[in-house]
A and B are shown apart, each in its own frame.
Chain A
Amino acid sequence: KAGVTQTPRYLIKTRGQQVTLSCSPISGHRSVSWYQQTPGQGLQFLFEYFSETQRNKGNFPGRFSGRQFSNSRSEMNVSTLELGDSALYLCASSLQLGTAWGSGANVLTFGAGSRLTVL
């Protein structure tokens, strides 16, 4: 079955603009997480959505927001872009939200990422 699909793969924006990134999870997966990857800060958790509700949030400013639709597809938005927002944004999906022992249901499957460059 198809993996996690992220669009667009590459994009260039200028400071002050806003951007929207999209993530389509694996069919049947209901949890979607977003991560930011930069050379300086590494991989940092942005937020997680499950059943159209934000369940967890990382330590990012309010310029970073997201949402999830009824088909589990998710979007993240960054407003008033800054140079430091240049990064690879990774989306990951999992079957469910929870802590079931011994289950692979919580294993994250990542997409190929969206590379954002802010000029």
Chain B
Amino acid sequence: AQTVTQSQPEMSVQEAETVTLSCTYDTSESDYYLFWYKQPPSRQMILVIRQEAYKQQNATENRFSVNFQKAAKSFSLKISDSQLGDAAMYFCAYRSAETSGSRLTFGEGTQLTVNP
């Protein structure tokens, strides 16, 4: 079974600064997807960014980028130019690409606070 670990329960950042959230995972599979989801106080899970394991190039979405280290099984999220609206719980998630289905395995989450 796959596991996802987020070792930082809480993080804080000053507005306009950069912050990196950590995520490690354990799997014996070679084909998979990795995701970062954001859950603001409204509780709606919002996809931030995704990475296919076969791609060596790190995914980027505007101010969000990842550092995907497949051998180290590490998948960190960097938020640049942090904004107040980035404050939320962030979840790292794994999905197998070797079995059918869309089942996600989530980490414990990191609560991000953005200070003005």
Contacts and interface: CB of A to CB of B under 8 A. Distances in A.
B49 to A, nearest CB: 11
Interface of B is mostly: loop
Contacts of A35: 104
Q: How large is the interface on A (under 10, 10 to 19, 20 to 34, 35 or more residues)?
A: 20 to 34
Nearest to A113: B43
Q: How large is the interface on B (under 10, 10 to 19, 20 to 34, 35 or more residues)?
A: 20 to 34
B102 interface: yes
Nearest to A59: B1
Interface string B30-42: 0101010100001
Interface of A: 31, 33, 35, 42-43, 45, 48, 55-56, 58, 88, 90, 92, 94, 97-99, 101-102, 106-113, 115
Interface of B: 31, 33, 35, 37, 42-47, 50, 52, 54, 91, 95-109
Given A42-B109, A58-B103, 10 more contacts: A43-B91, A45-B104, A45-B105, A48-B102, A88-B43, A92-B45, A97-B100, A99-B31, A101-B54, A106-B102
